[in-house]
A and B are shown apart, each in its own frame.
Chain A
């Protein structure tokens, strides 16, 4: 399955790309190709430039040098074949909009500038919502979503674009096991349809399971290729240990309701109960 597409044009080709913020270099000479029809992980520790790489590929910032080809063309020629999912934290989720309204944004085009969406657009939105299991939440305000639901909404918006190359920034962050499974299923389905999916991911452990093509990044390109060739047993960092998902869920609950963090004037009279042993 891996190399049969090798004679086709690569879905993505990054050539000698370098990028910086305020002259501080963040990416050095990144050079790789991704064939069509693979599920790719861009993997690297925090601050290794994964987001920056994606932003450069999408033309959201100016590279210092190098260029990017998508299906052998300039980005502007193939815009509608590419879908970009920004990092979840990059938007303000208190924005007054409903789930459906956000997913509809995936259908905005130059062709329908200043116009309403067509019937077909709306159908595609419904299908996308269905695929990520958010159809019943379609009219929910986005401010009332959990982190995992927010990721699903972004995924749905991306699916609604009906693209051939998908670039997603950390779609698995803040997501519980069930949602992770669901997202992964959607992604594999895309790949089975012959589409290319590129995922920014920072968890080494799961990266090997999820992807069949891996780009290892740390400011410079460490390695790129089929996962077996890239994942030589140099376990770069031990995993971050058990993550405390329950704790963060609770803090969300606290932030949303009006619960005090500590009860006022708490006092329990003597006696052996929960207080002491």
Chain B
């Protein structure tokens, strides 16, 4: 045992081997898991992870020690039985697939725990280590085990590369794959086997309970960063590698700690960060986008209010006061001022102490918005036959959304109307 003062260097050869092994396991799990994620079979992954437990426990009871090959074999058998049963239940009975998944998960897991309890009572029980199966302990892997698990992980990664094209098609459009005459059943069988093996290997690092996280979280997190499958798998693999690197190191410096929770915790942190900060799909990016839209809507409403003012007032006056706008539409004071400044900066508005005036471009822009509003109202009354007193709030939103293409189509369908349903004129560019 390493004492505290004898701090383990990151270059310690035995630590390096364990780390390399764990990293490999996690990468293989994340790559195979990507296809489970894309097929929306995350829950199946979770169920299989739990369902592997009785197979492993039985293998241990029969062999009397932790022979990795025998354990893998046991895992493969019980994992496959679980998958077959889930398929059977959801296709042949009236039960829904989530019921099938939940049932298989709990029955198999319960049985596995029963067997583990029995093992603990046996003479050689301590060697099995209940915790290790449930929560994983990277540091507990022996060198010889590592070769088996690491080697298998490499094979899995290789298989994913070999079948990448077929697995993608199978996940995107299985009917089409079948119509091409591809061996869809065999491909499914291979993919399922890869999943069971990845799980059997992966539980060495994270244990049965948290295995689904290692399988699914990396691809789910990577999905926020890209819309392309290959980069997505690369990012998923990197996240898995990074977190298992951290997790296995921790399990060395704190041997009483199980590895699984550490790996899964760091993975989850990355997933959470992705959810917030990823470009475009991240929450932050979307929040900013919403803010931008809100500003756009407010500014367009200001332009419209100015337009309405000059439409309503009899005497033409060039410079308006802020109160004039407030008289048309109740803006919040700060918001209005901010909007006026922004419009001014864009050259749509001229400001002079407390007075304002639309520029030429501002006038056109205001006209465009009013036109869209009135066109949309026309469309609603003519095509949806909505009553004219119901259409206004809807048009109020749409005027900010309608794209030039849709505007052109509206104009064509409505045949360039002059008046809107409330008999207000629809302004066009060339008539002042």
| Contact assessment for B293 and A79 in the assembled complex, using a CB-CB cutoff below 8 Å | no
| Contact assessment for B228 and A97 in the assembled complex, using a CB-CB cutoff below 8 Å | yes
Q: Residue B317 at the A interface, CB < 8 A?
A: no
| Contact assessment for B396 and A246 in the assembled complex, using a CB-CB cutoff below 8 Å | no
C-alpha spacing A145/B388, complex, angstroms: 34
| Contact assessment for A246 and B289 in the assembled complex, using a CB-CB cutoff below 8 Å | no
Given A97-B228, A114-B166, A266:B393 Cβ within 8 A: yes
| Contact assessment for A246 and B410 in the assembled complex, using a CB-CB cutoff below 8 Å | yes
Nearest-Cβ distance from residue A121 to partner chain B, whole angstroms: 11
**0 or 1 for each of A54-87: is its CB under 8 Å from B? (1 = yes):** 0100111000000000000000100110111010
Binds B, one of A5-13, A37-45, A188-196, A269-277: A269-277
The 8 Å CB contact of A96, one of B175, B226, B326, B398, is B226
Nearest-Cβ distance from residue A134 to partner chain B, whole angstroms: 17
| Contact assessment for A274 and B227 in the assembled complex, using a CB-CB cutoff below 8 Å | no
Given A141-B228, A259-B401, A273:B328 Cβ within 8 A: yes
Binds B, one of A24-32, A214-222, A231-239, A250-258: A250-258
Binds A, one of B45-53, B60-68, B176-184, B251-259: B176-184
A/B interface sample: 29 pairs, CB < 8 A: A58-B175, A58-B178, A59-B179, A60-B178, A76-B181, A86-B176, A97-B172, A108-B165, A108-B177, A108-B180, A113-B166, A116-B165, A161-B180, A244-B383, A246-B409, A246-B410, A247-B383, A250-B398, A257-B289, A260-B397, A266-B396, A267-B330, A268-B330, A269-B326, A273-B328, A274-B308, A274-B370, A274-B420, A277-B424
Contact partners of B227 in chain A: CB under 8 A: 96, 141, 143-144
Nearest-Cβ distance from residue B381 to partner chain A, whole angstroms: 12
Instruction: Using CB atoms and an 8 Å cutoff, list the residues of chain B in contact with chain A.
Output: 38, 162-163, 165-166, 168-169, 171-173, 175-183, 223, 226-229, 232, 286, 289-290, 293, 297, 308, 311-312, 326-330, 370, 373-374, 377, 379, 383-384, 388-389, 392-398, 400-403, 406, 409-410, 413, 420-424
C-alpha spacing A253/B376, complex, angstroms: 15
The 8 Å CB contact of B175, one of A90, A244, A258, is A90
Q: Residue A182 at the B interface, CB < 8 A?
A: no
| Contact assessment for B290 and A258 in the assembled complex, using a CB-CB cutoff below 8 Å | yes
Chain B residues touching A, majority SS: helix
The 8 Å CB contact of B327, one of A79, A86, A98, A269, is A269
Q: Residue A2 at the B interface, CB < 8 A?
A: no
Contact partners of B397 in chain A: CB under 8 A: 259-263
C-alpha spacing A277/B70, complex, angstroms: 83
C-alpha spacing A84/B400, complex, angstroms: 41
Nearest-Cβ distance from residue A81 to partner chain B, whole angstroms: 11
C-alpha spacing A260/B173, complex, angstroms: 33
C-alpha spacing A253/B384, complex, angstroms: 19
| Contact assessment for A79 and B181 in the assembled complex, using a CB-CB cutoff below 8 Å | yes
Contact partners of A157 in chain B: CB under 8 A: 176
Contact partners of A76 in chain B: CB under 8 A: 181
Nearest-Cβ distance from residue A160 to partner chain B, whole angstroms: 11
Q: Residue A102 at the B interface, CB < 8 A?
A: yes
C-alpha spacing A249/B410, complex, angstroms: 12
| Contact assessment for A258 and B293 in the assembled complex, using a CB-CB cutoff below 8 Å | yes
Which residue from chain A places its CB closest to the CB of B184 in the assembled complex? A60
| Contact assessment for A110 and B183 in the assembled complex, using a CB-CB cutoff below 8 Å | yes
Which residue from chain B places its CB closest to the CB of A115 in the assembled complex? B165
| Contact assessment for B422 and A86 in the assembled complex, using a CB-CB cutoff below 8 Å | no
Q: Residue A229 at the B interface, CB < 8 A?
A: no
C-alpha spacing A131/B373, complex, angstroms: 39
Given A108-B182, A110-B183, A274-B374, A258:B286 Cβ within 8 A: yes
Which residue from chain B places its CB closest to the CB of A117 in the assembled complex? B165
| Contact assessment for A60 and B179 in the assembled complex, using a CB-CB cutoff below 8 Å | yes
| Contact assessment for A263 and B401 in the assembled complex, using a CB-CB cutoff below 8 Å | no
| Contact assessment for B179 and A84 in the assembled complex, using a CB-CB cutoff below 8 Å | yes
The 8 Å CB contact of B176, one of A59, A105, A269, is A105
Which residue from chain A places its CB closest to the CB of B301 in the assembled complex? A263
| Contact assessment for A274 and B289 in the assembled complex, using a CB-CB cutoff below 8 Å | no
Interface centre among A96, A101, A267 (most CB of B within 10 A): A96
Which residue from chain B places its CB closest to the CB of A272 in the assembled complex? B312
Nearest-Cβ distance from residue B325 to partner chain A, whole angstroms: 10
| Contact assessment for B396 and A110 in the assembled complex, using a CB-CB cutoff below 8 Å | no
| Contact assessment for B389 and A86 in the assembled complex, using a CB-CB cutoff below 8 Å | no
Contact partners of B373 in chain A: CB under 8 A: 274
Given A254-B401, A257-B293, A262-B397, A274:B392 Cβ within 8 A: yes
CB-based closest 9 A-B pairs: A277-B422, A79-B181, A84-B179, A141-B227, A258-B290, A96-B229, A114-B162, A58-B179, A273-B308
| Contact assessment for A253 and B175 in the assembled complex, using a CB-CB cutoff below 8 Å | no
Q: Residue A95 at the B interface, CB < 8 A?
A: yes
C-alpha spacing A157/B175, complex, angstroms: 14
Which residue from chain A places its CB closest to the CB of B400 in the assembled complex? A259
| Contact assessment for B328 and A108 in the assembled complex, using a CB-CB cutoff below 8 Å | no
Contact partners of B175 in chain A: CB under 8 A: 55, 58, 60, 84, 86, 90
Question: Could you list 7 further interchain pairs (A-B, Cβ under 8 angstroms) beyond the known A113-B183, A114-B163?
Answer: A95-B38, A105-B176, A144-B227, A246-B409, A258-B293, A269-B329, A274-B374
Contact partners of B327 in chain A: CB under 8 A: 269, 271
| Contact assessment for A96 and B176 in the assembled complex, using a CB-CB cutoff below 8 Å | no
C-alpha spacing A267/B305, complex, angstroms: 12
Q: Residue A91 at the B interface, CB < 8 A?
A: yes
C-alpha spacing A242/B179, complex, angstroms: 35
The 8 Å CB contact of B169, one of A108, A114, A161, A276, is A108
Contact partners of A90 in chain B: CB under 8 A: 173, 175
Which residue from chain A places its CB closest to the CB of B159 in the assembled complex? A114
The 8 Å CB contact of B328, one of A55, A84, A105, A271, is A271
Given A269-B329, A275-B392, A102:B172 Cβ within 8 A: yes
Contact partners of B179 in chain A: CB under 8 A: 58-60, 82-84, 86
